[in-house]
């Protein structure tokens, strides 16, 4: 069977939905508004502040051996009695080197105890980093397989936690700590935890 061509004169126009056509003209405006709202939220949102299920809860139970060349490891029991910062770092982390001078200054001033969790690092590399840049940490635990860091909810390094004298996580900072972060967020919380 062969198909017969239908003459153009016999074709009837299809009926379009007038309401759909009428509302379709608003589509570009709706898309534009959605993009503006999304962009405004993104620009106003600080990527260093990420909700953590650990904030407001006790630190996870852990016990890490010391980093090579250090005498003191780090455990959850060590985070009792005094407010402290716990900084998760690695020798291969460039951003960790950026924040290191801030932690060295905090140690020199005696502002707050700082403990370190060395994340998935080779023992010699971690030791060399602390020898070459200085060691701001009172205690430093070697988390060779990263399991303890997973319990802390680590997304990547560096990350820093403020822990209360009772061992409760008060704040989580993702990314390198800057002078501004210290002045506007961390130190006010440190003062508040001591009251």
The alpha carbon dihedral of 80, 138, 109, 159 has a sign of negative
**Which pLDDT does position 48 carry in this prediction?**
47
Taking only the tens of pLDDT, the chain with its 195 residues reads 566 666 666 656 555 566 656 666 766 776 676 666 666 655 654 554 555 678 999 999 999 999 999 999 999 999 999 999 999 999 999 999 999 999 999 999 998 999 999 999 999 999 999 999 999 999 999 999 999 999 999 988 999 999 999 999 999 999 999 999 999 999 999 888 766
Q: Which two tokens stand for residue 28?
A: 């570009």
Residue given tokens 């909810």 in the structure block: 153
**What's the residue count for the chain?**
195
* Superfamily of domain 63-193, CATH level 4: Glutaredoxin (3.40.30.10)
- Ranges of each domain in the chain: 63-193
CA–CA dist 142, 161 (Å, integer): 17
**Which pLDDT does position 155 carry in this prediction?**
87
Q: Which two tokens stand for residue 55?
A: 């904030």
**Which pLDDT does position 36 carry in this prediction?**
63
**Which pLDDT does position 184 carry in this prediction?**
93
Q: Which two tokens stand for residue 173?
A: 């900072």
How do beta strands 113-119 and 140-143 pair? parallel
Assess contact for 138 and 68: CB atoms under 8 A: no
**Which pLDDT does position 191 carry in this prediction?**
85
- Indicate the pTM of the whole model: 0.73
Please name which of 103, 95, 76 lies closest in space to residue 167, comparing C-alpha atoms. 76
CA–CA dist 97, 121 (Å, integer): 14
């Amino acid at each position: 069977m062969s198909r017969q061509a239908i003459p153009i004169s016999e074709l009837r126009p299809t009926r379009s939905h007038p309401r759909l056509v009428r509302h379709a003209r608003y589509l570009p405006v709706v898309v534009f508004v959605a993009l503006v709202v999304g962009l405004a939220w993104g620009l106003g949102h600080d990527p260093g502040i990420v909700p953590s299920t650990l904030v407001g809860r006790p630190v996870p139970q852990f016990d890490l051996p010391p980093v090579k060349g250090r005498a003191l490891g780090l455990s959850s029991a060590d985070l009792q009695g005094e407010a402290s910062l716990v900084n998760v770092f690695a020798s291969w982390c460039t951003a960790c080197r950026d924040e290191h001078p801030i932690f060295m200054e905090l140690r020199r001033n005696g502002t707050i105890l700082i403990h370190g969790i060395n994340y998935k690092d080779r023992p010699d590399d971690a030791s060399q980093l602390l020898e070459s840049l200085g060691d701001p940490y009172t205690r430093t635990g070697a988390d060779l397989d990263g399991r303890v860091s997973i319990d802390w909810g680590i997304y990547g390094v560096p990350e820093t936690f403020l822990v209360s004298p009772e061992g409760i996580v008060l704040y989580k900072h993702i990314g390198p700590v800057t002078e501004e972060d210290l002045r506007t967020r961390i130190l006010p919380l440190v003062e508040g935890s001591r009251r």
